[in-house]
Chains A and B, each alone.
Chain A
Amino acid sequence: MSNLLSEEKLQLLNEKSIESRKLVVHTVHHAGAGHIGGPMSAVDVLVNLYFNELNVNPEDARAENRDRFVLSKGHSAVALYTVLAIKGYFPIKELDTFDSMDSRLQAHPDMNILPGLDMSTGSLGQGISAAVGMALGAKLKNKDFRTYCMIGDGESQEGQVWEAADVAVKYGLDNLVVILDNNKLQQFGWGESFDEREVPVTNPCERWQAFGWNVIEIDGHNHNEITKAFNAARTVSGKPTIIVANTVKGKGVSFMENTHRWHSRVPTDEEFDHAVQELEAGV
């Protein structure tokens, strides 16, 4: 795949990804709560969305014609919060209020209290339908904003995801891009042994194709590939696009990678230091 991004832009995006991951680990460690594996797998797509793709402005967070983003896998909120903070929606220091009383940074996204959130999510399977509503609303009202939504592969066990998939095709929502954070693990999951518990859907691409979607499969940690996929989605007309982003749960920290054990575990002080060292070494 040819590189679309300049070296400078690529470096900027990679730096933002590292910064976001460090803040995810910091925030969960500080709060003593939260998810970590799923947020870490989602970071690169989220960074690319907010620093390369979405037409949004933190100074005018509710602008009528802004692009919309829905985090359907709402339990990865901490990753989205770190990216919104880096983008300038609120002070990075506010991440320390995550999960505490009266915080704008709720365990799952609350659209009413934090600027920059376009939909409340948390109960899985629902965000993609709301994104369908936004994209449909744009068509009905002749608006040219685009709607993006991230779902999880574990989340895709919810039947509502497939109800939404049908309706998006029926209404030809080519202004909708769904990103599947395909990290292949969930909270406890499926399997014979404790350590090998992959999500049982082996080929999401075939499945989404069968539902009539434009499917693009990428490495969800490669900013060039993410950018190329977003660009390709813009050229499609008459149907929605799903980007199957193959990712690594816990990406960036060796002992968190590819294990369901870090779905929502809080790092000890020692693990926290180790994780930060690894992430900094990765720059």
Chain B
Amino acid sequence: MKTLLSDKKVSMRDALSETILKFTQEDENVYVLDGDLATSTKIDIVANENPKKFLQMGIAEQNMMSVAAGLTTTGIQPWTFTFAAFLAKRAIDQIQVQIAQPKLNVKMVGGYSGLLTGLTGKTHQALEDIAIFRSLANMVVLAPADATEVKKVMEFARSYDGPVYIRLARDAYPILFPNDYNFKLGKAVTLNEGTDVTIISTGTQTSRSLEAAEKLEAEGVSVAVVHMPSIKPIDKEAIIKAAETTGAIVTAEEHSIIGGLGSAVAEVLVEEKPVPMLRVGVKDRNSESGPNEQMLEKYEISPNHVAQAVKDVLKKK
């Protein structure tokens, strides 16, 4: 199969907004907890249209996460919303001790993940959240690639009994998946078949990887693109199969190259099927505030950087 990049871009935030409102209307136990970023994350829709289900927790993420833990013990399914940076780096002890260790049914949605956070700069970017969340026992870590997949992973999280971290982005991305797409926990999705090399990508970096693959194919390189929406649990079989069929791997993520998808894939390859591999991500450095395209270039995660990594890894085969 071959997935074409659509010209139609849809905001992940709009998909989230619509979906969470529906959940609060359909399920008496679904409540929304806001760390006072409702107009940024767009869960203000719940405050406006179903206010009984909206619990303002104020600018106090640590308390918000522990309150969520307490709420689960009364049968409530709390959905907590703030920026990925504050979940992963400010409230992680609360998340570990009171949510992950006891495996409580809290849904954690980190908005504004990665590098492109709307000119807010390094204090509000989350380049470490995958690394941090996937190191917690009992944690499920998901990073959807488009608005359709946002809805699908949220539907999964609603049906799953346990802690789930969903990594979302601020901006709009091309639609990759049809409406009947079926998300499965722990399963990768092959978006492009190819024989020379496989790009394994997650979240927002998947559409950039498809763009890189299109360019490379025009140059005669056959590139497989495997999207990994479920970073934990990870699809080991898909990684091993990619190594066996194409013999070289590039990982791509809007995250630090330390501890994220690239590390997770490398862990599988080193133990199961070592092949040449390169990681595309932010290279252990702090970033800044700036326009999206310039940020992608400077921090080396643009489609061109993905394409270059593919060319470089082919030389290692």
> Are A120 and B101 within 8 A (Cβ)?
yes
B24 to chain A, nearest CB (A): 12
A74 to chain B, nearest CB (A): 9
Given contacts A136-B55, A167-B57, contact A129 B93 (CB under 8 A): no
Bound-complex Cα distance A72 to B68 (A): 16
> Are B31 and A131 within 8 A (Cβ)?
no
Chain B, residues 10-49, CB within 8 Å of chain A (1/0): the string is: 0000000000000000000001000000000000000000
**How many chain A residues have a CB neighbour from B under 8 Å?**
35
Contact pick for A133, options B69, B93, B101, CB 8 Å: B69
B80-102: which residues lie under 8 A (CB-CB) from chain A?
93-94, 97-98, 101-102
> Are A160 and B62 within 8 A (Cβ)?
yes
> Are B31 and A133 within 8 A (Cβ)?
no
B152 at the binding interface (Cβ < 8 Å): no
Closest to B52 in A: A140
Closest to A131 in B: B70
Known: A134-B71, A164-B63. 16 other contacts (CB 8 A): A111-B102, A112-B102, A119-B98, A126-B62, A126-B94, A126-B97, A126-B98, A129-B63, A130-B67, A130-B73, A134-B74, A136-B55, A136-B67, A136-B70, A140-B74, A141-B74
Contact pick for B98, options A68, A120, A167, CB 8 Å: A120
Chain B residues whose CB sits within 8 angstroms of the CB of A170 once the complex forms: 56, 58
Q: What total of A-B pairs shows CB separation below 8 Å?
A: 107
B153 to chain A, nearest CB (A): 25
> Are A129 and B102 within 8 A (Cβ)?
no
Chain B residues whose CB sits within 8 angstroms of the CB of A141 once the complex forms: 74-76
A276 at the binding interface (Cβ < 8 Å): no
Given contacts A122-B97, A123-B93, A126-B98, contact A134 B58 (CB under 8 A): no
A41 at the binding interface (Cβ < 8 Å): no
Chain A residues whose CB sits within 8 angstroms of the CB of B78 once the complex forms: 133
> Are A167 and B102 within 8 A (Cβ)?
no
Given contacts A119-B98, A129-B70, A129-B94, contact A167 B60 (CB under 8 A): yes
Chain B residues whose CB sits within 8 angstroms of the CB of A128 once the complex forms: 66
> Are A138 and B74 within 8 A (Cβ)?
yes
- Most chain B CB within 10 A, of A119, A129, A134, is at A129
A54 to chain B, nearest CB (A): 15
A206 at the binding interface (Cβ < 8 Å): no
Given contacts A120-B97, A126-B98, A140-B31, contact A163 B73 (CB under 8 A): no
Nearest 7 A/B pairs, CB to CB: A133-B70, A137-B74, A129-B66, A163-B63, A163-B60, A130-B70, A133-B67
- Most chain B CB within 10 A, of A133, A138, A140, is at A133
Q: Which residues of B contact A (CB under 8 A)?
A: 31, 55-58, 60, 62-63, 65-76, 78, 93-94, 97-98, 101-103
Chain A, residues 105-136, CB within 8 Å of chain B (1/0): the string is: 00000111000001111110111111111111
> Are A125 and B97 within 8 A (Cβ)?
no
A41 to chain B, nearest CB (A): 23
Bound-complex Cα distance A39 to B101 (A): 24
A274 at the binding interface (Cβ < 8 Å): no
A63 to chain B, nearest CB (A): 12
Chain B residues whose CB sits within 8 angstroms of the CB of A127 once the complex forms: 66
A166 at the binding interface (Cβ < 8 Å): yes
Chain B residues whose CB sits within 8 angstroms of the CB of A133 once the complex forms: 66-74, 78
- Most chain A CB within 10 A, of B57, B63, B78, is at B63
- Most chain A CB within 10 A, of B62, B71, B74, B97, is at B74
> Are A137 and B71 within 8 A (Cβ)?
yes
A143 at the binding interface (Cβ < 8 Å): yes
> Are A163 and B76 within 8 A (Cβ)?
no
B107 to chain A, nearest CB (A): 14
Chain A residues whose CB sits within 8 angstroms of the CB of B60 once the complex forms: 160, 163, 166-167
Q: List 16 A-B contacts (CB under 8 A).
A: A112-B102, A118-B73, A120-B101, A129-B65, A130-B67, A132-B63, A133-B70, A133-B71, A133-B72, A134-B71, A136-B67, A136-B71, A137-B70, A140-B31, A140-B71, A163-B60
